[in-house]
A = this chain, B = another copy of it.
Amino acid sequence: MSDPRLTALAASLPASVPFVGPEAQERSRKAPFAARLGANENVFGPSSRAIDALAKAASETWMYADPESYDLRQALAMHHKIPPANIMVGEGIDGLLGYLVRLFVAQGDAVVTSQGAYPTFNYHVAGYGGTLYQVPYYDDHENPAALLAAAHEHQAKLIYWANPDNPMGTWHDAKTVAKTIAALPDGCLLVLDEAYIDTAPEGTAPPLAPDTAQVIRMRTFSKAYGLAGARVGYAIGPEPLITAFNKVRNHFGMGRMAQAAALAALQDQAYLSQTIEKISTSRKRIVQIAEANDLACLPSATNFVAVDCGQDGDFARAVLAALLEAGIFVRMPFVAPQDRCIRVSCGPEAQMSLLAEALPRALKTARDAR
């Protein structure tokens, strides 16, 4: 054999992409989207302080970033009132999930998640040869009791749970989260993905107790803070686990501008509050648009709303296709029965108007095709 030799695991993996980017869709349709409401980005944008910090950092970009993200970790520690030793900063939650799975999952190790939950987590588990057990949603909510039961049954090393949930937008309260943590099987780590926690009602997140040995919590600057393109996420967990990231992470993987932008965004909590208010208004607007078309929405604690198209997955896929065709980028859940919905990110009124205009036609197209 003359060709280089991939590992057996790598050879077995598909060259898959968890999500196709909207840019690829734009290239294929040969036109830009008029409204970008599909990736749960924050269309309201980041704080002007973050933008100023970016502009200022631009001239410093000849320097590698501090591999310890010291300033940002200090600021996060102060903000959350926890020690910096309990915080690891990384290249978005996606990057941190990759490192975490690498630390815990060897070939055949059991991991539990919900059927239809975050595909990028599943991608990482498959990428390290783990065996994924998926439990169904219950009433469009993730089902912590079922996650626990599956973890017990399969002696899972990890449970993945997004609260609030993506792609449905639903959530459980802090009491339920605390009860679930208390019932974790021995040797099992709960990966609590709180990407959307900033837009959730008070009482969704249990208080931070970073020394809890069996929980790691994931936070991000990509959603409410509006910095998806900067790639900054962070993990909060017990110190030994946080330190373990140093065994495998790309130490110089953080961008220098990314660190500066996140730091400035964190320091503008007034802007964050305004954004959360705008997102809340936009959620109501999406509900209004849906109801004007006789569609119901799921309750949402996130920066998006799952709009129930009222029929099956094929129908929702037809609605989605017609919206894309009309220049409205949205996405939808992958798995039945959640795939009866389309998922619409919040945004300013300009984008909402475009949606309001396009949705009735998209529904008509989908109905006519039945």
Contact = CB atoms under 8 A, between A and B. Distances in A.
Contact of A18 (B2, B189, B251): B251
Contacts of A248: 10, 13, 127
A236 to B, nearest CB: 15
A241 interface: yes
A4 B61 contact: no
Contact of A226 (B3, B62, B157, B253): B62
A246 B16 contact: yes
A182 interface: no
A24 B59 CA distance: 21
A362 interface: no
- Among A8, A10, A127, chain B packs the most CB atoms within 10 A around the CB of A10
A303 B68 CA distance: 25
A200 interface: no
Contacts of A106: 7-9
Interface stretch (A75-83, A87-95, A288-296, A305-313): A87-95
Contacts of A43: 62
A82 B222 CA distance: 34
Interface string A209-240: 00001100000001000111111000000000
A28 to B, nearest CB: 11
Interface in A170-187: 186-187
Nearest to A258: B255
Interface string A3-45: 1111111100111111111011001000000001001011111
Contact of A187 (B1, B64, B65, B98): B1
Contacts of A7: 102-106, 109
Nearest to A24: B68
A255 B227 CA distance: 10
A226 B187 CA distance: 46
A274 to B, nearest CB: 15
Contact of A6 (B10, B104, B186): B104
Contact of A10 (B9, B187, B247): B247
A3 to B, nearest CB: 5
A164 interface: no
A247 to B, nearest CB: 4
A67 B246 contact: no
Contact of A243 (B2, B15, B68, B91): B15
B250 A91 contact: yes
Nearest to A18: B251
Contacts of A241: 4
Contacts of A228: 61-64, 256
A247 B4 contact: no
A246 B15 contact: yes
7 contacts: A4-B104, A7-B105, A23-B70, A41-B63, A55-B58, A61-B228, A231-B253
Given A63-B229, A230-B256, 13 more contacts: A5-B187, A7-B105, A15-B243, A15-B244, A16-B247, A21-B64, A21-B252, A27-B70, A44-B62, A45-B62, A58-B58, A120-B251, A255-B258
